[in-house]
Amino acid sequence: MTGLDSLPPGARARGRADGFSDWLVGSAASRRQLTDRFIETFEAWGYGFVVTPLVEPLDTVAAGVGAARQSGLFRFMDSDGDLLALVGERTVSVARVVATQLHDGPFPLRLCYAGPVLRNQALNTGRRRESLQAGCELVGSTALTADAECMALAAAALERGGVHHVQVDVGHADFIPGLLESAGLDEPARDVVLGALARRDLVSVEAALESTDMADAERRLLLAFPTLRGGREILDTAASGLRGDRPTHALQELAQLWDLLDAHAITDRVHLDLGAVRDWDYYTGPTFEVFSEDAGFALGSGGRYDMLLSRFGAALPATGFVLHVDRCHDSIGRRDGAASAPWVLGVGWDDADAQPIALDAARRLRDRGVACACNLSAGGDADLHVTMHDAHWSMGGREERGSIDAAVDALSPREP
């Protein structure tokens, strides 16, 4: 009988739900440290840490994400018959908190968060069902300086977390819809093009544009879709021949934003991306995505969403972003290799009288930042072995012997 035949159909990895992961010693720690680096950076920029529930009423979730994405959530009913969902992102939760509890300001209000999000992804696709997100929301300002701050902060957090070759792609949610409107496309035709763009099906975009009557400047821009990328100079190229107010205004905002990003000294990592495909129902102004050369997915994304808070009864402008901690962690892991378990100093003693001395030595070493695990009985292997009179320890492959104080000093980290 082969191994497979002996297993019942539908057998699970001993007790763990399919599509979820355990994080073991080493990788769990490096993932937590990465999250800490992100939060530290957010706090250093004045963003206050908040925690929102893992569960939200389905109505709350529905205020933020469209029907298609709701169906990708884990949804359930509690004993009162209320429909609930495990959160698939956390911006909606933070927006709810601001609109219902912090609506009196003071503004601008800077908040940050980190926590798991869950998506009911199909199995065996390589996609995670649970992942960790960390993000910031800057509420109460319509100024482009707020958008620039979020972009600079996202890049700073990734770099602080150890992600290399960070690249920020900046777009504008109103550029393409505005371009389609000013090109004279009627609403059904616009929906066809926007729908194809949302599916990232540029072949259909092209076909739709060929079959519609529109001005050359706009058609040229839309057909150049994947190449509408570059530095500030592409704004002038794009603006030539353009007549509509909406796309022109979007280009003007991007020009101002470029100068603000220059003030943050990050334009060497910024590309303007006029063809950025984002959720046009959600975003209302500048948007951005963050990439790293060694990752096949965006590591973070964000933008201005001025309509969301009004759905919770507080008409407040807002901009923000999310970082995908697990994708960042994957990217760093591919580069540096998987994180190994942190080093722990084993402390032993030779008889019961020496145990208090060994425990005291461990206490002193821990105070100096050395992780120590004490033997649970006398004798046994140890990196530091304590007797009534002295200690011996191994360092750099050499056996050393001396007083307890000498051992603690020798095993403590050197002052930088």
Partner 1 sequence: MSGLRIALPGGTLLEGACELLDSAGVIRLDPSRFDRELSVTEGGAVYVKVRPTDVPVYVEMGACECGIVGKDVLWESSRACYELADLRFGVCRLVLAAPRGSPLVQGVWPASLRVATKYPESARRFFAARSLNVVLIRLHGSVELAPATGLADCVLDITATGRTLAANGLIEVAEAGVSTARLIANLAALKTRNEAVGGLAASLRRAAASRRAEGAA
Q: Which residues bind partner 1 (CB under 8 A)?
A: 122, 125-126, 167, 169, 199-204, 206, 226-227, 229, 271, 273, 289, 291-293, 295-298
Shortest spacing between CB 32 and partner 1, in angstroms: 25
Question: CB-wise, 271 or 364, nearer to partner 1?
Answer: 271
Question: CB-wise, 327 or 385, nearer to partner 1?
Answer: 327
What is the Cα–Cα distance from 198 to 41, expressed in whole angstroms?
Answer: 32
Shortest spacing between CB 154 and partner 1, in angstroms: 15
CB 99 within 8 A of CB 91: no
N-terminal to C-terminal alpha carbon distance within the chain: 61
Residue 294 token pair: 């060694």
CB 301 within 8 A of CB 173: no
Shortest spacing between CB 166 and partner 1, in angstroms: 11
Shortest spacing between CB 117 and partner 1, in angstroms: 17
Shortest spacing between CB 261 and partner 1, in angstroms: 17
**For tokens 């590309």, what's the residue?**
271
Question: CB-wise, 221 or 318, nearer to partner 1?
Answer: 221
Shortest spacing between CB 125 and partner 1, in angstroms: 8
CB 128 within 8 A of CB 298: no
Shortest spacing between CB 167 and partner 1, in angstroms: 6
Shortest spacing between CB 196 and partner 1, in angstroms: 9
Shortest spacing between CB 271 and partner 1, in angstroms: 7
CB 309 within 8 A of CB 95: yes
- Per-residue burial over 81-118, b = 16 or more CB atoms within 10 Å of its CB, e = otherwise: eeebbbbbbbbbbbbbbbbeebbeeeebbbbbbbbebb
Amino acid at 356: P
Question: CB-wise, 112 or 270, nearer to partner 1?
Answer: 270
Question: CB-wise, 10 or 296, nearer to partner 1?
Answer: 296
The length of the chain in residues reads: 416
Residue 136 token pair: 């910031």
| C-alpha to C-alpha distances, 335 to 37, 165, 293, 328, nearest whole angstrom | 18, 12, 11, 11
Question: CB-wise, 43 or 201, nearer to partner 1?
Answer: 201
What is the Cα–Cα distance from 394 to 407, expressed in whole angstroms?
Answer: 10
Q: Of the candidates 398, 401, 407, which has an alpha carbon nearest to the alpha carbon of residue 361?
A: 407
Question: CB-wise, 220 or 401, nearer to partner 1?
Answer: 220
What is the Cα–Cα distance from 38 to 30, expressed in whole angstroms?
Answer: 12
How distant is the alpha carbon of residue 222 from its chain centre? Answer: 30
Shortest spacing between CB 292 and partner 1, in angstroms: 8
Question: CB-wise, 77 or 198, nearer to partner 1?
Answer: 198
Phi then psi for residue 185, to 5 deg, are -75, 135
Question: CB-wise, 112 or 192, nearer to partner 1?
Answer: 192
Question: CB-wise, 68 or 352, nearer to partner 1?
Answer: 68
What is the Cα–Cα distance from 161 to 37, expressed in whole angstroms?
Answer: 5
Q: Which residues contact 245 (CB under 8 A, 6 or more apart)?
A: 178, 182
